[in-house]
Amino acid sequence: MNGLKTSALALGLAAGFASFGTDAAAQDCTTKIGAVLPTSVDWGKPIAATAQYAVDIANEAGGVAGCQIEMVLRDTQVDPKVGVDAAKALVDLDGVQLLLGAVSSGVSMPILTSVTVPAGVMQMSCCSSSTAFTRLAEEGKTNGLFYRTFATSGVQAAVGAMVAQDAGYKSVAVFYKNDDWGQDIGGLVADDLKALGIDVTASIAINDGQASFRAEVTEALKGNPEAIYMALYPKEGTQVVREWISLGGSQNMIAANALKSDEFRDNVGMQYLANFTGTDTASPRTDSASAFVDAYTAKFDGPPNGPGLANSYDATMIALMAMHAAGKDATGADIAAKVASITDPNGTPVTADAAGFTMAKEVLDGGGTVSYQGATGNVQFDKNGDVSAPAVTWTFSESGIEEQKYISLTEVNDFMASLN
């Protein structure tokens, strides 16, 4: 990144905190927004902290529609029932018109269908990738209330298949979590592997709450696959890998980003992860993405290496800018309708910091539109509320996560087109 631009953005962020505090203090109204995120798991806490970070920046920049924002956070425990109960409380008791979350598609979907759409509340997810949301939008069942800053499962599935092809694997067994997300990405990756001529020896569903997955692992071993692909979360992933290794399975492993977790690495052990490759969507190599990394590192004393952090930041910032454009006492539908004015490719470019938030408000108040340049780049949604994204492969090291390869948006799209 250009050092001068980085410095300018960093100074803008610092100046934003210094100059907007008086305005924030002078305000005497507060608007609540809701957040349903998995704070009881290690990888969920930073996602929630990043959303709060974006709220703090908006408040330092004078708030939204003349009021300070209070983010009321409730833990989903990555459990659909808990998530729905949390969302209902935020909508019915706290009266929120904007809901951030959830993370798992299996939690976001029931919240969308049973809480936010019936209540007319806008839902913005940082980290739900199931293509089922796209189908729901195409059928007109989201009422335009759902957006997400994370690319669909199709990207990671394709890159998982790419990893298998590049490694020369001829056969792969697929383990997937038995929920909306796992079923979606598990089916997609199986199709992509087959399109490349790679034998899918088994597709095994993994259910919550089992004491052991020995039966499932034994079934997968029957096909003697060269590698396994995992669309699992750390708890189930750890159990599956332990059983897999103990029963003589190969250490050739490919996984979706849900296993991008110190918990998983530490509980499995680095000695068994030498041939492990993870996939994830990525921020583009742009000045705005680099500026976010610098600002985040300064704020949290470390880079944003966990899953969904850049996406959480952009989801929150875009939603809050749309909330400002919609005005005080806006409904969820009002807020959702203003998202296009925040991500207009022909709008005034605004940075993802306090200075950029202030500029966005000025432009929007004057009747203009803005082009948000964020942690994941120049965000643009399609008619279904979806985004596309570049990708990366990564692996574990003793110190954390190491990127192996960056795959540009053009490369991702070209490879996905070749599969079809």
> How is the beta sheet containing 400-407 ordered, strand by strand?
199-206, 171-177, 227-231, 253-255, 276-281, 391-397, 400-407
The pair phi, psi for residue 70, each rounded to 5°, is -115, 120
With a CB cutoff of 8 Å and minimum separation 6, the contacts of 18 are none
CA distance 109 to 107: 6
Answer yes or no: do 259 and 310 share one domain: no
CA distance 135 to 217: 32
CATH number at residue 219: 3.40.50.2300
The answer to whether position 387 is within a domain reads no
Answer yes or no: do 58 and 186 share one domain: no
CB atoms within 10 A of CB 215: 11
The pLDDT value recorded for residue 117 is 98
Closest CA to 238 of 82, 43, 38, 37: 43
The answer to whether position 44 is within a domain reads yes
The pLDDT value recorded for residue 52 is 98
Instruction: Count how many domains the chain has.
Output: 2
Answer yes or no: do 127 and 14 share one domain: yes
The answer to whether position 55 is within a domain reads yes
What's the one-letter identity of residue 347?
A: G
Closest CA to 315 of 282, 348, 339: 339
Q: Where does residue 127 rank: exposed (0-12), middle (13-18), buried (19+ CB within 10 A)?
A: buried
Answer yes or no: do 297 and 264 share one domain: no
Domain carrying residue 58: 3-150+284-378
Whether residue 215 contacts residue 185, with contact meaning beta carbons closer than 8 Å, is answered with no
The model's pLDDT over 263-277, given as tens digits with 9 standing for 90+, comes to 999 999 999 999 999
pLDDT beyond 60 at 95: yes
Give the DSSP letter of residue 114: I
Buried b (16+ CB within 10 A) or exposed e, 12-48: bbeebeeebeeeeeeeeeebebbbbbbbebebbebbb
Whether residue 308 contacts residue 329, with contact meaning beta carbons closer than 8 Å, is answered with no
Answer yes or no: do 258 and 402 share one domain: yes
The answer to whether position 385 is within a domain reads no
The pLDDT value recorded for residue 24 is 41
pLDDT beyond 90 at 108: yes
Answer yes or no: do 316 and 267 share one domain: no
Answer yes or no: do 173 and 234 share one domain: yes
The answer to whether position 222 is within a domain reads yes
Instruction: Please compute the mean of the pLDDT values over residues 306-323 and round it to a whole number.
Output: 96
* Torsion from C-alpha of 222, 225, 230, 232, nearest 10 degrees: 10
The answer to whether position 310 is within a domain reads yes
Instruction: Please compute the mean of the pLDDT values over residues 24-49 and round it to a whole number.
Output: 88
Answer yes or no: do 299 and 267 share one domain: no
Answer yes or no: do 146 and 29 share one domain: yes
Residue 1: pLDDT band (50, 70, 90) is: very low
The model's pLDDT over 346-361, given as tens digits with 9 standing for 90+, comes to 999 999 999 999 999 9
Answer yes or no: do 290 and 264 share one domain: no
* Torsion from C-alpha of 317, 319, 325, 328, nearest 10 degrees: -110
DSSP codes joined into one string, 309-338: HHHHHHHHHHHHHHHHHH-TT--HHHHHHT
The answer to whether position 318 is within a domain reads yes
Tracing tokens 């079934």 back to the chain, one arrives at 219
The pLDDT value recorded for residue 78 is 92
**pTM recorded for the entire structure:** 0.79
CA distance 391 to 319: 24
With a CB cutoff of 8 Å and minimum separation 6, the contacts of 163 are 254, 277, 279, 393
The answer to whether position 39 is within a domain reads yes
Answer yes or no: do 30 and 137 share one domain: yes
CB atoms within 10 A of CB 383: 9
Instruction: Please compute the mean of the pLDDT values over residues 15-39 and round it to a whole number.
Output: 68
Tracing tokens 């949290």 back to the chain, one arrives at 300
Angle (CA) 218-221-226 rounded to 5° is 155
Answer yes or no: do 132 and 193 share one domain: no
